[in-house]
Structure 1
Amino acid sequence: MSSLTGVADGRGARLPRSARRKQLLAAAQEVFVANGYHAAAMDDIAERAGVSKPVLYQHFPGKLDLYLALLDAQAEALAASVVAALDGTDDNHERIHRVLTAYFDFVDRDDHDGAFRLIFESDIVNDPEVRKRVESVTARTMRAVADTVAADTGLRRPEAELLATALTGSAQVVARWWLASERPVTQDEAIALLESLLWRGISNFPRTGAPATPGA
């Protein structure tokens, strides 16, 4: 039974549609992260959310629709975090620190929900819709960094994007390795080490409006 203001699942609970959708997404995230896409079942997601399957299907016609909705939400969260990190300061050393922190925080959230796996370790990445979303968030974060690199160094766009890819790629790969290795050093120490490595390289490109020549 449904209405404009809420959805009842036959178990006595009625929530506004937006609240119910949020509840279903949270339950689905737990199941997808724990089991992967292929092993996850809509029955399990409905049970985790405490609703009937008809209620689940009222919001999401199928498992892929539910997964894509989750992927969209997580991709937006990561992209917004990286953009905020860049916009929060004019100091490029601090920008690197903040971008790295954004990736580490995304991978190692306080509740350890493992949501980053939906983007970086998906077992359905070969699906065209999933691949498109993964590539989109990767490109969006890279372009945000490249915009800053190009503006501050005068490098041509391809050169700026190459450096931006190195920075964002290093951030997510190292953050995932660090978590998988059971945090062998503190997060602050890990970020400081990677920050030092990356800054030593990118600081060779001076802030200038004139085109820079790498290695000059």
Structure 2
Amino acid sequence: MGIVSSPGVSVNQPRRRLRGAERRRRVEAAAVVAFANRGYDATSLGEIASAAGVTRTVMYDHFPTKRALFLQVLASQHELMLTEIARGITSEGGPRDRVRATLAAYLEFTREHPATRRLLLDPIPSGDPELDQVVRGYLDDRADAISGLLSADLAGAGVDLGSTSLPVIVAVVSGAADGLAQWWALHPDTPFDDVVDAATRLLWNGLPRAGDA
């Protein structure tokens, strides 16, 4: 019996950890949608627990407060979005190829994670000044990351990276990408390649001359 029971324990232990990880994942996924749709203030932990299919007791094991859950969701989704944006900007090929790859990666991300885009880029005010400042900080981090990733191409186009041109250009490009994602969400039948190609032509015809007087 001892020989049989010992393997049983070792096999069951990792399964229990996986179940716990899966519960946490489901809570975070439900929280992203709830916070994006209703905002921090109007969302309750009970609502999130119900959507995740877990009890409130189980949820408290992972996230003792709504604030802790909100901060975790912001951090994880911000990292996820930046990873996808960086994948495009740092892809192989010339500057035009990277522009297209970045737009494609971002649009694919917003299609697969629409709630994340709303949560991070079109947030509902939380009613908590400190939390709203955290959200603004993530927006600034996103702009800084894009600036760093685009700086070599923009310098090659003649942009003075120490001037105000860099943050302005990044704001325009980011705003255009966000607007495009919103438009495509309303017109999902428009072919993906047509959307990316048209946006690439617009940005490419402007970015190489962004340093011109």
Query: TM-score surpassing 0.5?
Result: yes
In the alignment, structure 1 residue 88 sits paired with structure 2 residue 91: yes
1:137 maps to which residue? 142
Report the CA distance between 1:118 and its aligned residue.
0.7
Q: Which residue of 2 aligns with 1:115?
A: 116
TM-score with structure 2 length normalisation?
Answer: 0.78
SS state at 1:190 partner: helix
Aligned to 1:57: 60
> What letter corresponds to residue 121 of structure 1 in structure 2?
D
Query: What are the within-5 Å matches in structure 2 for residues 1-216 of structure 1?
Result: 15=18, 17-109=20-112, 113-124=114-125, 127-150=132-155, 152-157=156-161, 158=163, 159-179=165-185, 181-183=186-188, 185-204=190-209, 214-215=212-213
Q: Which 10-residue stretch deviates more, 96-105 or 52-61?
A: 52-61
Q: What is the CA distance between 1:92 and its match in structure 2?
A: 0.8
State the TM-score, normalizing by the size of structure 1. 0.77
Matching residue's letter, 2:212: P
Say if 2:147 and 2:166, in contact at 8 Å, map to a contact too.
no
Name the SS for the 2:115 alignment partner: coil
Whether contact under 8 Å (2:89, 2:102) holds in the other structure is yes
- Provide the identity percentage: 26
Distance 1:64 1:182 in 2: 35
Asked if structure 2 preserves the Cα contact closer than 8 Å seen for 1:38 and 1:123, the reply is: no
- Counterparts of 1:113 and 1:174, CA distance in 2: 13
Q: 1: CA distance between counterparts of 2:38 and 2:169? A: 35
What residue identity is the alignment partner of 2:177?
A
Cα 1:171–1:201 shift into 2, 3 Å:
same
Report the CA distance between 1:184 and its aligned residue.
6.1
Note if contact 2:32-2:116 (Cα within 8 Å) is conserved in structure 1: yes
Cα distance in 1, alignment partners of residues 96 and 34 from structure 2? 39
Aligned-pair RMSD on alpha carbons?
Answer: 2.6
C-alpha distance after superposition, 1:99-153 (max 9, x if no partner): 11122112111xx652211111111265222222232223322332234322x33
Displacement over 6 Å in runs of 4+: none
